[in-house]
Homo-oligomer: A and B are copies of this chain.
């Protein structure tokens, strides 16, 4: 009876879950300070548009010298800054490299200023000072007062359209700047071309074409004003004079409606009454101006800003309600902000009519699926895509279809490595599409042609000319002379190959399975039993003489040292443990990792993270060690997994602007948080097993797409009670620290009994 009551109490909030305003827990500002590289602006779940303020891009030239920074302004916004340059429509969330920042819009009043000005002297240009007191960032909504001209700026968005609302003072010199040369990491010549067409007195269309991290990328746009501008103009900042000839017959700087060039800024003039609101809708498309216009008309036909804002929040609530948690209010902020960040990428990359630009730079139609881009796979194969398999299976199905479309459109015949707007920038090591594909097929999520998918995995993994694969195939490792990331490549290829083997097994391709299981053992070739660590190996088969297990630079790794990477055998922890001298020695090594001191000289080499992003020598701010805390389970010390996981959850995720210890990496950091908060984690995607940790929530209900719910309950939960006494799955004890994906999908309940003491 008592028990029943508890259940009922627990369930009451969940019954009403569809109506819960969980968006109130989302603080987009988390991660905008220091290394998180998130942005505070307005976007929809997996939206194409990310309308957000740029506090700087450092992307202009000053004194003839390029002043860019590929890293600092990845998201366009740094909480530390005191000025806003404008609001642009595309942003990466949490990356460690820069691109995008298209179509920067800024309202101003008074004397027209076409230059952005400087952070030190915002009044020297169109930028403005602002303060965080006057700033609101919510899921799907952002508001800030621009101090210089006392203009209130509000932003919201639909999937493909950004909506601005600017409240002006009375003036006959109100302006809206459209800076088409601004962009994130706009080194010289990144702007390839811009075209603008002023269709009428309140509509313009065009495109911006860049040569950035995406080598050849075009974003089309349509921009509509709620009020007709009284005049407009432009300035071309390209220093090189192209042929002009008879173009001079028109004064192209004023009220001239057909513009093209490499470096363009535009302005639009208005008379405004006191507190008059001018609204702007800016739709984007990867395909055409016409499609951008169609997107606008389909998604935001009217001018009701509040309605769009409400719809945006509704879209977020719909996604956030897929998991309802009972936990402290602070943790709810962390949890739902993690959900929010996890549901930003990949981004939708097709128009409302289904058309998108393919990797072959041709126009394709996404038939029966949504096409996605922004696949930061080195990061996201680990936990984000497994999380999608759980909570967003339909979308992950479409993501795999998008990867297959990418492959089909690729002359190279390569699955995506880092898919960015119809381009691959081949960022980071491995070919981790195969992990995502395998995980989706193993878990029954992908409904496309699995045989074709396997074939794509096989072809991708046999690109001998790509990043040492030829050496890897021939020698089982990559000679240190041949690659700066010889070890991480070998370790990641080996894991990926294990995925291919699992997929082959599932499809009854025994020969492929055998071949790839063999390849998956290649990690051994970089393991030096003499030192007990992964170590670079030379072409002659000898280990590299000079080698530093603490160093991240020049040792054969990327974003990790040997201490972190040596544990990267997620496909076979047992074998790794054996090679490292057995469970005890292995656990002791893990202990050292979490407690050692990383000297400053080595920390300085560790990219993308703050001092807070590491625990001992364990670098949570980068991804290679994300599964490491769970390895204690294999070493017979699950309680250490439990305490470490809880410690990481506490230390690495805070509900403050600087709350993320490293780049959120398109949601991977957040997905780690969500899984770990729920008490389980996919150590080796491609397997149908999750390794149990220690839930941080009191309880959670996961609403599955199949209509079932999976409940996690942590009895006796508290901050101190990080240890799990026992676990019941639907009442049956779980003794192997493992649950299967099918167990979850079947619906049911996982009950953790928490304690302040480690269980034996």
Contacts and interface: CB of A to CB of B under 8 A. Distances in A.
Interface of A: 70, 97, 185, 187-190, 192-193, 195, 197-199, 205-207, 209, 211-213, 215-216, 240, 242-243, 245-247, 249-251, 255-258, 260-262, 288-290, 359-363, 410-412, 417-418, 425-428, 465-467
Given A289-B361, A411-B258, A466-B250, A216 B245 contact: no
Nearest to A360: B197
Kindly list the 10 A-B residue pairs having the minimum CB-CB distance in the complex, ordered from nearest: A257-B411, A246-B426, A216-B260, A249-B467, A246-B427, A189-B240, A197-B411, A249-B426, A215-B260, A192-B193
A183 to B, nearest CB: 12
User: Chain B CB within 10 Å — which of A199, A260, A289, A417 has the most?
Assistant: A260
A428 B205 CA distance: 29
A256 B215 CA distance: 15
A362 B290 contact: yes
Nearest to A204: B411
Given A187-B243, A211-B242, A289-B362, 6 more contacts: A193-B216, A212-B243, A213-B245, A245-B427, A246-B425, A250-B466
A152 B412 CA distance: 34
Contacts of A362: 288-290
A198 B360 CA distance: 10
Contacts of A209: 193
7 contacts: A197-B360, A211-B243, A246-B426, A249-B466, A251-B465, A288-B363, A289-B361
Nearest to A97: B245
Contacts of A418: 246
Nearest to A192: B193
Contacts of A250: 426, 465-466
A589 B209 CA distance: 58
A260 B211 contact: yes
Nearest to A260: B216
B411 A242 contact: no
Contacts of A427: 245-246
A199 B359 CA distance: 12
Q: Report the copy number of this chain in the oligomer.
A: 2
B466 A243 contact: no
A242 B251 CA distance: 33
Contacts of A246: 417-418, 425-428
Nearest to A289: B362
A242 B189 contact: yes
A194 to B, nearest CB: 9
A411 B211 contact: no
A467 B247 CA distance: 10
Contacts of A205: 360
A412 B243 contact: no
Contacts of A257: 411-412
A213 B251 CA distance: 18
Contacts of A97: 245
A212 B243 CA distance: 6
A417 B246 CA distance: 10
Nearest to A196: B411
A418 B249 CA distance: 13
Given A211-B193, A216-B260, A243-B212, A411 B199 contact: yes
A606 to B, nearest CB: 19
Nearest to A99: B243
A43 B479 CA distance: 56
A247 B216 CA distance: 13
Contacts of A242: 187, 189-190, 211-212, 215
Contacts of A206: 361
Nearest to A413: B257
Nearest to A205: B360
A140 B616 CA distance: 77
A428 B418 CA distance: 50
A360 B289 contact: yes
A249 B213 CA distance: 14
A192 B192 contact: yes
A288 B218 CA distance: 14
A245 B362 CA distance: 24
Contacts of A428: 246
Contact of A361 (B190, B195, B426, B466): B195
Given A198-B411, A411-B258, A465-B251, A243 B363 contact: no
A188 B188 CA distance: 15
User: Chain B CB within 10 Å — which of A205, A262, A363, A411 has the most?
Assistant: A411
User: Chain B CB within 10 Å — which of A188, A198, A250, A261 has the most?
Assistant: A250
Nearest to A291: B362
A197 B243 contact: no
Contacts of A215: 242, 247, 260
Nearest to A469: B249
